[in-house]
Structure 1
Amino acid sequence: MHALLFANGEVSEREIRFLSKQTFDLIIAADGGARHALKWQLRPHYVVGDLDSITDELREQLQGTQFIHRPSQDLNDLEKTLLFCQEKGVNRLTLLGITGKRLDHTLTNLSVLSRFDTVFDLTLLDPDGEIFFVRNTFYYQGRIGQLISLVPLFSAEGITTQGLAYPLNDESLTWGVREGLSNVIVQNPVRISLKKGLLMVIAIYPEHL
């Protein structure tokens, strides 16, 4: 089951245009992410979280939406929503609003998602590109000349790439030591594999998108 999840970060028209190529079985918002869903006329089936961002006016606009109140302060609204998606049998997630606004929120959201990358097939969309979590082998069909960055979380070993201008051959990337910023696609599909750790792959949207 493929679900679209709105978090409460930044969402731009660019990601919404990107979504026009896809269909979803469910649309779910993590608390304040419901405002993004409404703005882009993508009414959520469910809103999950402590619901402290849901005003009476917003509830009125979301008639027909089910509100799932999860008051625990031990988890943030994104993690509550991911657990709800797991309960609903979702196995593929496209997420918007994960990045932007406060840096602490962005980093926390990425940390939370790194705990769920083995539960869901995750694709994050932000105003600059697509973000994927990779633990073994990953293929990406991009455009020649498109930028792609490899960021370790927090260590990734035995990385080998094909289709990039600056290839890696059984090499390691480590947070605070070495990153793989702004590589370039020269052949499709791009293949990225690693033997150990977790790698965040960020594919920057082509300029004309």
Structure 2
Amino acid sequence: MRTLIITGGFIEQDFAKSYLEEESFDMVIAADRGVEAAKALNIPVNYILGDFDSLNPSILQEVKSQLADENSLFELKEFPPEKDYTDTHLAIVTAIEAGATSVTILGATGTRLDHVVANMNLLLIFLNHHIEAKIVDSHNQIYVIDADTHLYMDKVRGKYVSLIPYTDLVTGVTLIGFKYPLHNAKMTKGNSLGISNELLEEEGIIKIDQGILIVIESRD
């Protein structure tokens, strides 16, 4: 089940509209202020959740009024502000429980770098459940890999492909079809070896023996 999570970070409306014209989803989850973005984009949602500390109260009231309608097609999950998980984390758990097979997250980046880093870390949850997942914004596409991965020039979202170790050590890293190739290399935290690579061929291959890499496809 192709799933879209809209969460409370920055979302560039023009980008989101064009992206959603290209992609289709079977399930949509809006987390906290992501409800405002879903409303602005006129996207029907299946789940609305969060502690709603950053959602306009009038919109929350509107949501609750809609929920009272017996024809309502979404489920509301409200949580206390004092909780162990972020709203994005709760949205991820909901997506997995609802049977998501692939997930795209909008609104996971923005000015709150603590949330950005946390959201990138949360991608590991999907990897552990063997679910394809990515964070997308107008300049980046972010995902994590632990196995050989093929990238294609016409699908990479930007000029640059950066590889950042998620685990302390990633071994056997081989890059084929890239401007800066690697052969059976070791990548460690605290090193910028994998930043700002580029595809030279129509198909690029990232090979890994052990470990996990964060992959960031980006444009300026």
TM-score (norm 2): 0.84
Find the partner of 2:127 among 99, 107, 117: 117
CA contact (8 A) 1:37 1:44 kept: yes
Matched, 1:14 2:25: no
Identity of aligned residues (%): 28
Equivalence for 1:191: 205
Deviations, residues 49-80 of structure 1 (Å, cap 9, x unaligned): 22333444213554344211233611111111
Q: Greater Rg, structure 1 or structure 2?
A: 2
CA RMSD of aligned residues (A): 2.1
Uncovered stretches (5+) of structure 1, i.e. residues with no partner: none
Equivalence for 2:160: 147
CA contact (8 A) 2:120 2:142 kept: no
What's the offset of the Cα at 1:192? Answer: 0.9
Matched, 1:66 2:67: no
What's the offset of the Cα at 1:169? Answer: 0.9
Equivalence for 2:69: none
In terms of fraction of residues, the more strand-rich structure is 1
What's the offset of the Cα at 1:134? Answer: 0.7
Deviations, residues 1-27 of structure 1 (Å, cap 9, x unaligned): 011001111111224322321110011
Could you tell me how far apart the structure 2 residues matched to 1:142 and 1:10 are?
27
Could you tell me how far apart the structure 2 residues matched to 1:174 and 1:11 are?
32
Uncovered stretches (5+) of structure 2, i.e. residues with no partner: 67-71
Moved more, 14-23 or 51-60: 51-60
CA contact (8 A) 1:152 1:173 kept: yes
TM-score (norm 1): 0.88
Equivalence for 2:147: 136
What's the offset of the Cα at 1:138? Answer: 1.2
Could you tell me how far apart the structure 2 residues matched to 1:117 and 1:178 are?
23
For the residue of structure 1 that corresponds to 2:22, the secondary structure is coil
Could you tell me how far apart the structure 1 residues matched to 2:216 and 2:2 are?
21
Equivalence for 1:104: 114
Could you tell me how far apart the structure 1 residues matched to 2:149 and 2:17 are?
24
Equivalence for 2:170: 156
Moved more, 145-154 or 60-69: 60-69
Equivalence for 2:5: 5
CA contact (8 A) 1:152 1:179 kept: no
How many residue pairs match? The answer is 206
For the residue of structure 1 that corresponds to 2:122, the secondary structure is helix
Could you tell me how far apart the structure 1 residues matched to 2:110 and 2:165 are?
20
Moved more, 119-128 or 137-146: 137-146
For the residue of structure 2 that corresponds to 1:89, the secondary structure is coil
Could you tell me how far apart the structure 2 residues matched to 1:139 and 1:133 are?
13
The 3 A distance-change label for structure 1 pair 179 and 6 is farther
Could you tell me how far apart the structure 1 residues matched to 2:36 and 2:128 are?
29
